């Protein structure tokens, strides 16, 4: 099928379906910052309540097939947000990849074209929700359900909850809230894990509490401080706390590293600014893609092992995946053993080769996805040069033409893509191995989201101040 015909088919489908598609209306007037924060908080509260509401008819499955994607999908096993934001992320990434590879051609400079693309993405999200709900319910919970009616109800719950999550995200993105629902839900999930590791008063296997802060107090009360630095069974420790703080500082520092290229406006005389090329040029998208790939690989390998090699006696399957029969979610051999992290220093020291192999795997795959995303996500030197020209700016000393600007950007973008992706992969891999609170990937996502929210809050505050200043000057 030709690229243009696929785009035209999508336009026709959107034109016919849009009148019947439920939409969250955009606010008719400018929403205040306080109102945006209120709506964002309400959406987050609804999501957190759904994350604590059990899925009716669900029994504890033998495997947690989304274990390695829980942070990315902001999901909770056995609850209404079992699928989390997974369908939204999957549909969004699919449409962005199709557009970035020019299979779908939409001109985002035209508001109507952008609207068609957004509506098409929403339609794809509905399709993904239906497909994932049916497949997940049957594959994960189906074996434990004897009554087909219960299974149908479970599928309906997954679909309904995912649609609600989609509307919560749309409500925030349409301007009622701040940022995007996806970012808020991921950030809240990671923060929840970190707070749990810090303050949980529930008892742990070593006789203390899960949270490191209550455990320190308990150790001081009993006079036994021998185990607060390192704890067994991957429990939160002072070492993990210091490591988490160190990773946070490194991420904040690297987020501020950038190369600044001076630009001037060709439309407004005297306008000077800089075009920043951040060290983390590709953001966290390569880490998300790498984690999603790993999660899918683990899912497939677990299914393959459970059906063909439950006793680890098949030589071919053993090369791919081996799991502990007494703890089926624990890999003990095969390729999967080296692409999943040995979480915690204690486990890593038992097999340093696996720890090193996982870190190298993360660095390598994040670099691959970083380079891929630069091309498909419209971040290449060619795309960036075109964006600068479309914005009516130019670089002093260079002709206002694609080729010279592209040649200049080509000196920096490939290098920062490689270095930034390697740093992200290294931080994510080492953090996961050493046992950072909230997981290495989770902390990466949380810091990136928090920095973006800080930038948005500053922008919103500046708009309020400037508007008030303008009104004051107008009265004079």
3 state SS of 412: coil
> Residue 412 and residue 410: Cα distance in Å, rounded?
5
List, in order of start, the domains of the chain with CATH numbers.
Answer: 3-22+32-178 (1.10.3370.10), 247-290+351-475 (1.10.3370.10)
3 state SS of 255: helix
How many Cβ atoms sit within 10 Å of the Cβ of residue 184?
24
Q: What is the pLDDT of residue 64?
A: 67
pTM of the model: 0.76
Q: What is the pLDDT of residue 343?
A: 77
Q: What is the pLDDT of residue 101?
A: 67
State how far the alpha carbon of 373 is from the alpha carbons of 69, 96, 380, 434, 467, in Å.
Answer: 20, 10, 9, 28, 38
Helix then strand then coil, % of the chain, to nearest 5:
65, 5, 30
Q: What is the pLDDT of residue 210?
A: 82
> Residue 401 and residue 358: Cα distance in Å, rounded?
44
Q: What is the pLDDT of residue 158?
A: 94
State how far the alpha carbon of 256 is from the alpha carbons of 281, 287, 428, in Å.
Answer: 11, 19, 18
Q: What is the pLDDT of residue 2?
A: 46
> Residue 44 and residue 445: Cα distance in Å, rounded?
17
> Residue 67 and residue 365: Cα distance in Å, rounded?
19
pLDDT along the chain (476 residues), means of 10: 66 84 84 86 92 84 66 84 86 76 72 81 91 86 81 92 92 85 85 86 77 84 77 80 87 82 74 78 78 74 77 81 75 83 80 89 89 76 81 75 82 88 88 82 82 77 57 46
Nearest to 3 by CA among 88, 106, 74, 76: 106
Q: Do the strands 272-278 and 322-324 form a parallel or antiparallel pair, or are they unpaired?
A: unpaired
């Amino acid at each position: 099928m030709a690229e243009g015909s696929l785009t035209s088919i999508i336009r026709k489908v959107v034109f016919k379906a849009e009148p019947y598609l439920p939409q969250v209306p955009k606010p008719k007037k400018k929403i205040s910052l306080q109102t945006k924060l209120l709506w964002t908080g309400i959406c987050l509260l609804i999501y957190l309540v759904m994350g604590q509401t059990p899925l009716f008819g669900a029994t504890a499955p033998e495997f947690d097939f989304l274990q390695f994607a829980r942070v990315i999908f902001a999901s909770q096993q056995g609850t209404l947000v079992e699928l989390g934001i997974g369908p939204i992320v999957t549909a969004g990434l699919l449409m962005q990849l199709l557009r970035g590879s020019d299979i779908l051609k939409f001109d985002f400079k035209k508001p109507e074209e952008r609207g068609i693309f957004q509506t098409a993405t929403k339609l794809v999200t509905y399709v993904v929700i239906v497909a994932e709900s049916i497949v997940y319910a049957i594959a994960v919970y189906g074996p434990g359900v004897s009554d087909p009616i219960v299974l149908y109800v479970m599928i309906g719950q997954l679909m309904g909850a995912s649609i609600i999550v989609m509307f919560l995200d749309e409500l925030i993105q349409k301007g009622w809230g701040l940022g995007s629902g996806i970012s808020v839900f991921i950030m809240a999930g990671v923060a929840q894990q970190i707070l749990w590791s810090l303050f949980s008063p529930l008892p742990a296997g070593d006789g203390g509490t899960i949270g490191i802060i209550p455990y320190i107090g308990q150790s001081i009360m009993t006079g036994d401080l021998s185990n607060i630095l390192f704890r067994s069974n991957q429990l939160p420790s002072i070492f993990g706390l210091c490591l988490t703080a160190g990773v946070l500082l490194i991420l904040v520092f690297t987020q501020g590293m950038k190369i600044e290229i001076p630009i001037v406006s060709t439309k407004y005389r005297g306008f000077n600014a800089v075009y920043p090329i951040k060290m983390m040029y590709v953001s966290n998208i390569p880490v998300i893609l790498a984690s999603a790939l790993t999660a899918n690989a683990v899912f497939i390998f677990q299914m393959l092992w459970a059906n063909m090699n439950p006793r680890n006696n098949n030589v071919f399957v053993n090369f791919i995946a081996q799991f502990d029969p007494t703890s089926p979610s624990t890999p003990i051999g095969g390729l999967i053993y080296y692409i999943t992290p040995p979480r915690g220093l204690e486990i890593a020291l038992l097999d340093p080769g696996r720890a090193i192999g996982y870190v190298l795997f993360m660095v390598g795959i994040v670099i691959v996805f970083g380079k891929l995303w630069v091309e498909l996500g419209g971040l290449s030197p060619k795309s960036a040069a075109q964006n600068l020209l479309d914005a009516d700016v130019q670089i002093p000393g260079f002709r206002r033409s694609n080729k010279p600007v592209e040649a200049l950007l080509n000196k920096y973008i490939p290098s920062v893509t490689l270095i930034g992706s390697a740093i992200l992969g290294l931080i994510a891999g080492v953090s996961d191995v050493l046992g950072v609170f909230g997981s290495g990937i989770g902390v990466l996502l949380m810091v990136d989201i928090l920095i973006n929210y800080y930038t948005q809050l500053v922008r919103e505050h500046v708009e309020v101040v400037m508007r008030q200043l303008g009104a004051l000057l107008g009265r004079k």
